[in-house]
Every structure is written in C-alpha cells, then in structure tokens.
Amino acid sequence: MEGLRIGAPIMQVYHEKSFILPDVSRVLACLYEKDVKFETHTASYRSLLGLQASSHAPVPFYEGPTFLEESREICRYIAEKYENQGYPFLLGKDALERASIEQWLHNEEHAFNPPSRALFFHLAFPLGEGEDDDIDVHTRKLEEVLEVYEQRLSDSEFLVGNKKNVRRWWDAISDRSSWKKVLRYMKSVEEKNKQEELKKQQQQQEEAPRTSTDPTRVDSRKQSRTEPRTILVPPADNESSASIVPRTKKPLPGDHLVSTQQIDGVGMPATN
C-alpha cells in the first residue's frame, strides 16, 4: 500500500509495520530516483483509512492536506513535480516516448500485475491445499506476459528505449541505486519487526504464570484482593489481534501509529 499528502514540509508514505508491498516499493523507488526527501510511517491501513483489505490496497501518501493512494499516479506526480531533480527522464524525453511509457504502464497494470501479485501473495502467505489450479493459471498468464517483454527487450534496453531480454533488464533495474535503497529499507523493516516479535515473546514468557513445579509457594490467604486486573481490549482498528491493557486505561487516539522515520532521498533510511 502507498499514499500521499500535498503541502506539508515533507512527503509522507505509509506502509504496514512488518513488510513492504510491491506498490509501496514502486513509490519508494521513484522517490529515490528523484532524490526527494520523505518520511515513512508504519500503521494499520484499515485504522488509518477505514478501508477493507483487498488485493489492490492503496498506498497512503500525503503531502500537506492532499492525499493520494494509487502508486502509479503518485509516481507520475513525483516525476512531474521534480522534473529537474534526480533522474530527469522517468516519464520520457519527449511526447512520443511519454506516450510509449504510458502504454507500457497500462500493460503492466492490467497484464503483468494481476498474475504476478497473485503469485507474490501465494509465496508470502500460502493458503494451503486447493490453490494449485489457480497458481497454474496465474503462472501461465505471467509467462505469456514475460514472453511479450522478452520479444520487446531483445532489441531494446528498456520496455521504452532504444538499445539490448527479461533477465538482463531485471538485472539492470535491480542494480540501480534507487532500488538498492528500497531493498535495504525493506530489510530494515523486516529485521525491526523480527526483533519486536522476539521481544514480545520474551515478555510473554516472563509474564507467564508459574506452574506447579515452581519451587516458590505462595500462600493464597496472603494475596491481596485489590490487585490491578487486566482485560483484552481490541485495538482501535478492530483487527483480530488484541493487546493487554489495564482496565482503567483507555486506548489513546493514534495508538495505531507505530513509528516514524525521516528519510533523505539520497541517504539511507534511519532505523530505530
């Protein structure tokens, strides 16, 4: 997911706490290509936007009071606003090349993206048995699209351009500085989430009740009946997870916002 606000001192991009979806990585790569400073926020999209989860989730992107959510439109906006900053030809060098780029963007969105997204989610979140037929269908569709790409890239350096196949093209894209920054940021998000999960597990183990094998004996008659009690309270976004909070404490507005990082488009994302 990705999204955008217009008019603030710095652009803001939102993504899930534990991972980066392809739509978000598309926006991050564009920001890095144009050397634009921005902030990233980790939050629950459903609590942030009140949206239902879908395979075409938006990317919350803010610049001041204006909000954008479609990753390709966000990239177009960034490329136009910062036309003379960073890499200058993201949208093409002239009207003809720009029209050709738009044509391939349309092809990517409607032909390449659906099967590749389905396969991505299958690998990331396998659903178990009964999905093989769907996976085979999406695999065949993706192979057909890549065959078109292969033919185009046999005599062109890029889908739009004028020099010399999918593997070489992918390697060239992956070697760009902007994409390497995206990958490093994705890794930092995953590592931070792993550390937080480990810390949470350790805390749960430490707070687990003692078993009967524990040598420490407690006289129940001496236990206070005024001990503070805890209850499970669903988070503000009504997601399935729950957090333990004191009965007398109410969740504060904005508790769903996990962290904020300011990023220099030239440098690396800061990690907490």
Please compute the mean of the pLDDT values over residues 130-149 and round it to a whole number: 76
Q: pTM surpassing 0.85?
A: no
Give residue-wise pLDDT tens across range 216-243. 444 444 444 443 333 333 334 443 333 3
Tell me how crowded residue 149 is: count the other CB atoms within 10 A of its CB: 19
- Report how far residue 15's alpha carbon sits from residue 260's, in angstroms, rounded to the nearest whole number: 11
Q: Mean pLDDT lowest for which of 27-41, 78-92, 121-135, 143-157?
A: 121-135
- Reading the block at residue 32, the tokens are 């890095």
Q: Mean pLDDT lowest for which of 60-74, 94-108, 258-272?
A: 258-272
Which residues, in sequence order, are bridge partners of residue 12? 39, 62
Which residues, in sequence order, are CB contacts of 43 under 8 Å at separation 6+?
14, 16, 17, 60, 256, 257, 258
Tell me how crowded residue 81 is: count the other CB atoms within 10 A of its CB: 13
- Reading the block at residue 150, the tokens are 């292969």
Amino acid identity, position 102: E
Which residues, in sequence order, are CB contacts of 248 under 8 Å at separation 6+?
228
Sign of the four-CA dihedral 25, 28, 32, 33 = positive
Please compute the mean of the pLDDT values over residues 190-203 and round it to a whole number: 88
**What's the burial of 146, exposed, middle or buried (CB within 10 Å: 0-12/13-18/19+)?**
middle
Please compute the mean of the pLDDT values over residues 111-118 and round it to a whole number: 77
For the chain, domain boundaries: 95-176
Please compute the mean of the pLDDT values over residues 72-83 and round it to a whole number: 90
Which residues, in sequence order, are CB contacts of 247 under 8 Å at separation 6+?
228, 229, 230, 231
Which residues, in sequence order, are bridge partners of residue 245? 231
User: Residue 194 pLDDT > 70, yes or no?
Assistant: yes
Q: Which CATH class is domain 95-176?
A: mainly alpha
**What's the burial of 243, exposed, middle or buried (CB within 10 Å: 0-12/13-18/19+)?**
exposed
